[in-house]
Structure 1
Amino acid sequence: MTPSGGKHWRYRFRLGGKESLFVIGEYPQVKAADARRRRDDARQLVKQGINPTHQRKLEETTRKYERATTFEAVAAEWYGAKSGAWSVGYAGHVDTILKKDINPRIGALPIKDIKTPIIHEVLRKIEARQAPTRAILARQIIGSVFKLAIITHRAEYNVVDPLKGEIARRVVEHRKHLRDDDLPDFLRKLEDYSGHQTTAIALKLLMLTAVRPGELCGAPWREFNIDRAEWRIPAARMKMNEEHVVPLSRQALELLKQLRDLTGHAEYLFPTQGTKSQTMPTATLRNAVTKLGYSDRFSPHGARGTFSTMCNEAGFRPDVIERQLAHAERNSVRASYNQAEYMPERRQMMQQWADKLDSLKVGAQVIPFGKVA
């Protein structure tokens, strides 16, 4: 009898020198004759050296997986198990590829019946859209889903393996950054930008903060503390899945003040026109760079490269620059001891960087820029 008053049929057995109990079922739902049959089955398992409780769990797990045999069902299990450790942006990217590129073509198929030629055709259709990087990620996603299927006995081999190396990445310089002799003309053209004012402010903030384009475009107002001159980006929105604090220069604060008059009513700094729920796509920044005539020399992500190059040349400490860029420490042992934020140095560096950009824009010939001894 259980503490709550319920009654159960039990079978007591000894296996490996240890005594255990196997719960056969609840009385009176399980009749005596059925209980005896289940006890005899359990006794046979014990004679074979098998724990009947473990065997029951194994059978329940097998039945569970047998009910979820389509690619889409296995993919949903894989995504649910893995996505919690990803950034919001990456999780959304994977989800989009599953929903738009993969599941519409193979989602309804039993995963055990999917063969390599079927996957090859899925990837070819993506590649045909001039999206080789997306096709490579789709291949990696499908391969990961098949790994789970193999582990859970729903597939025998990974059908993606023969396709490795079949998709060639397009050779594109995605992260072109401006040289210091390009900056003055670029900044002056940006000052005279004839497109949307919010787009111009976004590009200026990108230059002033050295964050990634996606981190800026998706930023909500609640992340900003104007009084403390800080922008605190939560871990879920960061590539390395760690919170990042960005010190804000006087110039950045002035831009935020201007932007508040334009979009302060919305949740986000850069809401898509006509809705408060969606944010400016990073493609808007790339289009603006094209409009400025710099698409062959500069990409929005390249603002980080410009910042890094010039700050290193100016003598700022590499650790301080890398922390500002929210780069992971490659040496895992060093990283465990190096958790410093370097905030005083970073505040000084970011203000000097903003002042340097101002001087380049107006054509000043001499401007102190570098680590103060």
Structure 2
Amino acid sequence: MAKITTRLSDKEIKAAKPRNKEYILSDGGGLRIRIKPNGSKLWLFNYTHPKKRKRTNLGLGKYPDLSLANARRIALDSKALIAQGIDPQENKKRQQQEHEAIQQNTFLKVSKEWFAIKQDDITANHATDIWRSLELHIFPNLNNTPVTAITAPKVIEILKPIEARGNLETVKRLIQRLNEIMDFATNYGLVTANPLTGIKSAFKKPKKANMATLQPNELPELINAIDNASIKHTTRFLIEWQLHTMTRPSEAAGTRWDEIDLEAKVWTIPPARMKKRRKHRIPLTEQTIALLEKMKPISGSREFVFPSDRDPLKPCNNQTVNMALKRMGFEGWLVSHGLRSLASTTLNEQSFEADLIEAALAHVDSNQVRSAYNRTDYLERRIPMMEWWSNHIVTARKSIQ
């Protein structure tokens, strides 16, 4: 006749006292509680392995942290697994591993993995800007959050205060970056779908504003301001270098001596420093070579043509020209990137070929098929245009003397 086990009660478990040796109280159905000499009470589920057909124990937890009712529920769940041929102990290990994987794949960890790939396709300055924006606005709130716990409402709540301050462009860029990170997590199977795909509709759209620049007839005023400004030689020559070469602020500020070929009269910017990750060659004119000659006594023995004041081993900050233009009275009127627009407008008005102007600006054709086949940079044909532009700047200076 089968032995009938009397079910345990909380009162009985609480009253169970430790002995010299551990002993077991049974609740029936394989559920047991082990009373240890030190007084701890541990739940066990004793069962026959569904495949090995051997008796084994599954530790469930400590009493009273795990109540009698919850221990019985886990025992019933374990029996259901055994009925399906699943070992509850192996199932528990798998669940723990999955939980650990979820906890380990925090937003910060996944962001670092995404960024390691992303930064290979962008310039160093752009990469720095991306990571700083995440450190400033996102990581303080989502640093240790598992990517599986990222939700649209949670992210919207983080971004709303930034929108309230009027920083709509910042919100727009952050949304783009957050979506890239979550797309990365989706593609690697860390989440089933990107929950942030539609969050941009929760925010105001930034109004498009034209880049602050000058009209071609205002070039003499700019030259006059540069000549009479109370600024360091390095900053003055950097402004002129950027104006003559039509380069982006970061490209001009980061100019290296080893990129300059004075014999061939060409400045070659490597792909790693270009926005579109394509090598960019710029014909050097008489005026740009003269600027380099002026910089040689200052930085000729260093790596960068325009070294930083604070640390000569580093280049000038890409905001150096912007700050100088503000001090010269051009705030709201001209930004450093606008020097390119000034050159472009002037050259277009002079009817230079559009392809030559676009090549000088290192723009990539928006027509992807045409861009894929058109790999020429028109270097030789750009020489007369660059010489005209440099001479035009000299003429503007003479007109105010």
TM-score, normalized by length of structure 2?
0.70
Q: CA deviation at 1:98?
A: 3.0
1:231 touches 1:248 (CA, 8 Å); kept in 2?
yes
2:216 touches 2:345 (CA, 8 Å); kept in 1?
no
In 2, Cα distance between the equivalents of 1:65 and 1:215?
A: 42
Give the equivalent residue in structure 1 for 2:388: 352
Q: CA deviation at 1:255?
A: 0.9
Give the equivalent residue in structure 2 for 1:142: 178
In 2, Cα distance between the equivalents of 1:224 and 1:309?
A: 27
Give the equivalent residue in structure 2 for 1:320: 356
1:246 match: secondary structure? strand
1:160 match: secondary structure? coil
For residue 275 of structure 2, what is the amino acid of its counterpart?
K
In 2, Cα distance between the equivalents of 1:269 and 1:135?
A: 35
Q: CA deviation at 1:240?
A: 0.9
Q: CA deviation at 1:351?
A: 1.0
Identify if the C-alpha distance between structure 1 residues 332 and 93 changes in structure 2 by more than 3 Å, giving closer, same or farther: same
In 2, Cα distance between the equivalents of 1:294 and 1:78?
A: 39
Give the equivalent residue in structure 1 for 2:211: 175
In 2, Cα distance between the equivalents of 1:149 and 1:93?
A: 22
2:114 counterpart of 1:70: no
Cα RMSD between the aligned structures?
2.8
In 1, Cα distance between the equivalents of 2:377 and 2:193?
A: 46
Give the equivalent residue in structure 1 for 2:343: 307
- Which structure has the bigger radius of gyration? 2
Identify if the C-alpha distance between structure 1 residues 364 and 74 changes in structure 2 by more than 3 Å, giving closer, same or farther: closer
Q: CA deviation at 1:149?
A: 2.6
In 1, Cα distance between the equivalents of 2:265 and 2:279?
A: 16
More deviation, 182-191/242-251: 182-191
Q: CA deviation at 1:298?
A: 1.6
Give the equivalent residue in structure 2 for 1:255: 291
In 1, Cα distance between the equivalents of 2:280 and 2:98?
A: 43
2:316 counterpart of 1:280: yes
In 1, Cα distance between the equivalents of 2:339 and 2:293?
A: 22
2:156 touches 2:202 (CA, 8 Å); kept in 1?
no
Q: CA deviation at 1:99?
A: 3.2
Identify if the C-alpha distance between structure 1 residues 124 and 217 changes in structure 2 by more than 3 Å, giving closer, same or farther: farther
In 2, Cα distance between the equivalents of 1:289 and 1:277?
A: 24
Structure having greater relative contact order (Cα 8 Å, sep ≥ 6): 1
Correspondence 1:13-92 to 2 at 5 A: 66=102, 68-92=104-128
2:235 touches 2:320 (CA, 8 Å); kept in 1?
yes
In 2, Cα distance between the equivalents of 1:282 and 1:128?
A: 28
- Count of residue pairs the alignment pairs up: 308
In 2, Cα distance between the equivalents of 1:163 and 1:336?
A: 33
2:201 match: secondary structure? coil
In 2, Cα distance between the equivalents of 1:359 and 1:298?
A: 21
In 1, Cα distance between the equivalents of 2:142 and 2:197?
A: 17
For residue 227 of structure 2, what is the amino acid of its counterpart?
E
In 2, Cα distance between the equivalents of 1:214 and 1:138?
A: 21
Give the equivalent residue in structure 1 for 2:144: 108
In 2, Cα distance between the equivalents of 1:272 and 1:170?
A: 34
In 2, Cα distance between the equivalents of 1:63 and 1:256?
A: 60
Identify if the C-alpha distance between structure 1 residues 233 and 130 changes in structure 2 by more than 3 Å, giving closer, same or farther: farther
2:306 counterpart of 1:270: yes
Q: CA deviation at 1:64?
A: 9.8
Identity %: 26
Cα offsets for 1:32-56 (capped at 9, x unmatched): xxxx99xxxxxxxxxxxxxxxxxxx
More deviation, 112-121/202-211: 112-121
Identify if the C-alpha distance between structure 1 residues 324 and 191 changes in structure 2 by more than 3 Å, giving closer, same or farther: same
2:114 touches 2:181 (CA, 8 Å); kept in 1?
yes
Identify if the C-alpha distance between structure 1 residues 180 and 140 changes in structure 2 by more than 3 Å, giving closer, same or farther: closer
In 2, Cα distance between the equivalents of 1:334 and 1:157?
A: 35
In 1, Cα distance between the equivalents of 2:227 and 2:187?
A: 57
Q: CA deviation at 1:185?
A: 1.5
Among candidates 238, 247, 257, match of residue 274 of structure 2: 238
For residue 144 of structure 2, what is the amino acid of its counterpart?
A
For residue 83 of structure 1, what is the amino acid of its counterpart?
Q
2:377 counterpart of 1:337: no
Correspondence 1:96-245 to 2 at 5 A: 96-127=132-163, 131-168=167-204, 170-171=206-207, 173=209, 175-245=211-281
For structure 1, the residue ranges without an aligned partner over 5 or more in a row are 1-35, 38-60, 366-373
In 2, Cα distance between the equivalents of 1:301 and 1:332?
A: 25
In 1, Cα distance between the equivalents of 2:238 and 2:165?
A: 29
For structure 2, the residue ranges without an aligned partner over 5 or more in a row are 1-50, 53-96
Q: CA deviation at 1:129?
A: 6.0
Q: CA deviation at 1:127?
A: 4.3
Q: CA deviation at 1:63?
A: 9.7
In 1, Cα distance between the equivalents of 2:157 and 2:256?
A: 40
Identify if the C-alpha distance between structure 1 residues 64 and 351 changes in structure 2 by more than 3 Å, giving closer, same or farther: farther
More deviation, 272-281/71-80: 272-281
2:282 match: secondary structure? strand
In 1, Cα distance between the equivalents of 2:332 and 2:310?
A: 32
Give the equivalent residue in structure 2 for 1:289: 325
